[in-house]
Amino acid sequence: MNWPVQRRVSVVVPTCNRAPLLREALASIRALEGPDLVFEIIVGDNGAPGPGAQVAAEFGAIHVPLDRPGAGAARNAALARASAPYVAFLDDDDVWLADHVRCHLDLLQRDPDLGMVFGQIVTTDCERIPTSTPWPDSIPDNRDALIQMMLGGYFPQIGGTVVRTSLRESVGFFDEALLGDQDWDWHLRAAWRHRVRLVQMACVLFQQRPDGTFDALIARRMRFTRRVFLRHVRRLPALRTAPRTVARMYVGAMRGYFEALVASTIRHAASGRRAAAGRAAYLAFNAIPHRAVRDALRPTPFRAALSAALRGTAHRNAQLSSKAP
């Protein structure tokens, strides 16, 4: 009888005080195991002592506590313990789908020069109901084109990424000074050094918060997005003479924040939360000033919500959309 070759993968899972979500995440990892595939799950935990360790034990995971803040620090603590030939990742509020990992490993094993494989992501709401089709459709084979795509707004969701463990030496660890977008920065650093492929199948359910509930998080993340953008765009020499191209990429990188903040402004105004609407509008202007000015001058839901916030009245007929009619 020909027994399947068993492949080992270390899975890095950062967590912080979200035991119920962590339990779902680890269950989705173990569900993919079989005679051909086994996981070494490593949980980097910078939350309170106790619950994270208990959940890790339930799923036979290695638990690594640490007292440094940030997902990057938690990932680093776990990544340092990885002993398998390959490393996959999953955030504690997301879950893997059944088609993840095996096709990534097939590509890596067939091509020894390949360093990193992405999978397609399905965005969901807090109830795990999909709000998007699988993305992205494709990625370029050319390194510079891929870097431009990433700087222009493609943030590979790390739960869909599988790499060779050797990238720990060639790329290094996550930048713990980045309390946001350290995974985007790490993906970019890896893409500069290694070839990348995409598995065109849905691999991860990526949970997003409702509009209007994470304005403060967006404000914090925008600072780190700008820092990472500037760090990497400077490495594209041809773009130094193409400021319009750089500007388009920057708008692409900030577009998701801008659209979420416009939707947040409208939602807050519709509920009569004048101060919250004003803060969200201010952040939208900060994200992409020229688009915010344009939408504020045209007959858009954003202008109506902004006007309502300035007048101090509830704009209850505002459409919860960031798109102009």
Tens-digit pLDDT profile for residues 191-213: 999 999 999 999 999 999 887 78
pLDDT bucket at 2, cuts 50 / 70 / 90: low
Q: What is the CATH number of domain 7-207?
A: 3.90.550.10
The whole-angstrom separation of Cα 91 and Cα 71 is: 9
The whole-angstrom separation of Cα 299 and Cα 297 is: 7
> Which residue do the tokens 């891929």 mark?
146
Render the burial of 26-64: b for 16+ CB within 10 Å, e for the rest.
Answer: bebbbebeeeebebbbbbbbbbeeebbbebbeebebbbb
Contacts of 142 (CB under 8 A, 6+ apart): none
pTM (whole model) above 0.85:
yes
Percent of the chain with pLDDT over 90: 84
How many other CB atoms are found less than 10 A from the CB of residue 310?
13
Instruction: Quick: pLDDT tens for 47-104.
Output: 999 999 999 999 999 999 999 999 999 999 999 999 999 999 999 999 999 999 999 9
- 120 forms beta bridges with 202
Rounded mean pLDDT, 102-122: 97
Backbone phi and psi for residue 189, each to the nearest 5 degrees, phi listed first: -60, -40
Contacts of 16 (CB under 8 A, 6+ apart): 45, 46, 47, 52, 71, 74, 92
- Position 311 scores a pLDDT of 79
Domain boundaries, the chain: 7-207, 215-311
The letter for the amino acid at 73 is: A
